[in-house]
C-alpha cells in the first residue's frame, strides 16, 4: 500500500489540481488510486449534506465508486480556517476518525493521495496540526508551490517547517498560478537548489469550477512516487 500527503505553500495554490493530476497519472499506469480530503471548509449544503468542491474533484479523478464520507470525513460550511469552523460547530477534529476513513480507502486502492487543507501550518484544533495526521498515517509529504511573487519565501519556510516537524518531504510540484510572473524559470532554479527534495513537475494553473478536474498529468511524479520506498 502506497500513499502521499499533499500540502501547499498557502490556500488556493492548486493542491487539488495537482492531486487530481497525480491521480490520473497513477491510474494511467495501472494503479488503483483514490483521493482523500480529510478536512474541508467552504462546503455547500445540498440534498446529500455538505459537499466540498475539492473533495468532489478528487472523487471524480479517483478509481471506482468512493463514499463521500470516507473521502471527506470533516466538512464545514464557512470558508474559514478549519480549527475555527470546527469550534463554531462544536466539533473536535479527531485523528482516529480520519485514520478510520483512510483505512477504508486503503482497502479499495493501491495508492491514496491525501490532500491537506490550506498551508502546512493551518491548525486543525487547539493543539492538533496537520503534521500530527501525517505522523499518524505515516505519510511522506509532497509540497505544492504556488509560483508567484513571494514563492521563494513561502516555499523555503514551508519546507523547513515540514522537516522541523519530523516529516519526510519527498518532492515538490510547481503550479503556475501567476502567468505573468517575472523570472519564473530563475525562481524555479533557486528553489531546486535550496529545497532538499526533488522537483517532480510543473503544472499550469486551472480554475476547477471551470475546468473541473483539468487536463494536466504528472506521469514522472507518479513514477517517482511508485518507485520510492517512502510512499
Cα separation, 139 vs 142, in Å, equals 10
- Which residues pair with residue 141 across a beta bridge? 5, 169
3-state secondary structure of 143: strand
Report, as residue numbers or ranges, the catalytic residues.
37
DSSP state at residue 182: T
d(CA 222, CA 28): 10
- DSSP structure string for 55-121: HHHHHHTSSS---HHHH-SEEESSSS-HHHHHHHTT----HHHHHHHHHHHHTT-SEEEEE-SSSTT
Measured CA to CA, the distance from residue 10 to residue 32 in angstroms comes to: 29
Instruction: Name every residue whose Cβ is closer than 8 Å to that of residue 84 and which is 6 or more positions away in sequence.
Output: 78
Amino acid at each position: 500500500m502506497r500513499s502521499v500527503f499533499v500540502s501547499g505553500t498557502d490556500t488556493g495554490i492548486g493542491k487539488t489540481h495537482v492531486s487530481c493530476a497525480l491521480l490520473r497519472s497513477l491510474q494511467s499506469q495501472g494503479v488503483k488510486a483514490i483521493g482523500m480530503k480529510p478536512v474541508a471548509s467552504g462546503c455547500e449544503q445540498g440534498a446529500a449534506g455538505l459537499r466540498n468542491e475539492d473533495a468532489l474533484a478528487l472523487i471524480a479523478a479517483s478509481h471506482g465508486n468512493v463514499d463521500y464520507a470516507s473521502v471527506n470525513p470533516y466538512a464545514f460550511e464557512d470558508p474559514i480556517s478549519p480549527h475555527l469552523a470546527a469550534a463554531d460547530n462544536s466539533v473536535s477534529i479527531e485523528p482516529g476518525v480520519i485514520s478510520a476513513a483512510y483505512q477504508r480507502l486503503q482497502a479499495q486502492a493501491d495508492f491514496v493521495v491525501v490532500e491537506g487543507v490550506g498551508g502546512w501550518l493551518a491548525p486543525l484544533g487547539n493543539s492538533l496540526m496537520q503534521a500530527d495526521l501525517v505522523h499518524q498515517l505515516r505519510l511522506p509529504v509532497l509540497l505544492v508551490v504556488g509560483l508567484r511573487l513571494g514563492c521563494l519565501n513561502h516555499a523555503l519556510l514551508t519546507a523547513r517547517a515540514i522537516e522541523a516537524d519530523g516529516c519526510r518531504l519527498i518532492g515538490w510540484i510547481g503550479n503556475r498560478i501567476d502567468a505573468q510572473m517575472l523570472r519564473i524559470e530563475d525562481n524555479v532554479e533557486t528553489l531546486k537548489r535550496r529545497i532538499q527534495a526533488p522537483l517532480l513537475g510543473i503544472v499550469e494553473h486551472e480554475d476547477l469550477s471551470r475546468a473541473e478536474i483539468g487536463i494536466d498529468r504528472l506521469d514522472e511524479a507518479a513514477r517517482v512516487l511508485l518507485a520510492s520506498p517512502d510512499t
